[in-house]
Amino acid sequence: MTERTDLSSPPEDRYPALFAPQRWEWGGIDAQFAVEMPPDELITNIHLIGFAGDLVVLCRDARGHWFLPGGTREPGESVGDCLARELREEAGARLLGEPVWLGAHRAVTDRPTPYRPWQPHPLKAWLWGHAEVLVDSEPTNPADGEQVVEVRAVPVGEAGALLSRGRERWWAELIELAAAHRS
């Protein structure tokens, strides 16, 4: 059972780590989460907190790294098509309903070129949402993606702990926000 969250205060007060400025050294990125939807042309990455009942679907790669299904948009790909593709590739899952968008990390990179040539640069956005999903097959594990070795549905608290292990607390707060938003 998911714990109820007091929704009378703004999300920035309830989830301070999620809304704090971030520095993602791996991409030379400064990012900050906001609940306002970014313009479609800035969205480069889509990620989903997939709920299977009260459980959160997580993926583990060959390095032992736990993550939420999602990834980079391909040229001309819609947000919905990217989400469906990434769910199948990484979790062997499909949507059971429309995703609910929680917000996005608006990001700026100090790298001289975009991650992919078709992406906006230096500004971009990573979109985060939640939806009901069904894990009904194995991950397709394309050669150019993460090699998923395990897909597991776990309680909200365990999902936050697995995602935050060795990383920032905002991962757990993102899961908590999705669970509170659902209830």
CATH code of the domain covering residue 120 = 3.90.79.10
> Tokens 């919905």, residue?
80
pLDDT at 4 over 60: no
**pLDDT of 20-59, one tens digit each?**
999 999 999 999 999 999 999 999 999 999 999 999 999 9
**pLDDT of 93-112, one tens digit each?**
999 999 999 999 999 999 99
**pLDDT of 125-163, one tens digit each?**
999 999 999 999 999 999 988 899 999 999 999 999 999
> Tokens 């659902």, residue?
182
**Does residue 84 fall inside a structural domain?**
yes
> Tokens 């394309």, residue?
142
pLDDT at 71 over 80: yes
Query: Residue 7 has what pLDDT?
Result: 58
- Of 92, 91, 127, 126, nearest to 107 (Cα)? 126
**Does residue 1 fall inside a structural domain?**
no
Query: Residue 2 has what pLDDT?
Result: 41
State the average pLDDT for the chain.
Answer: 94
Structural domain boundaries, residue 154: 11-182
**Does residue 2 fall inside a structural domain?**
no
pLDDT at 6 over 70: no
State the total domains in the chain: 1
**Does residue 101 fall inside a structural domain?**
yes
**Does residue 91 fall inside a structural domain?**
yes
In degrees, to the nearest 5, what angle opens at C-alpha 37 toward C-alphas 96 and 92? 30
**Does residue 143 fall inside a structural domain?**
yes
Query: Residue 3 has what pLDDT?
Result: 45
pTM over 0.85: yes
Q: Are 10 and 91 a contacting pair, CB within 8 Å?
A: no
Query: Residue 70 has what pLDDT?
Result: 97
**Does residue 15 fall inside a structural domain?**
yes
**Does residue 3 fall inside a structural domain?**
no
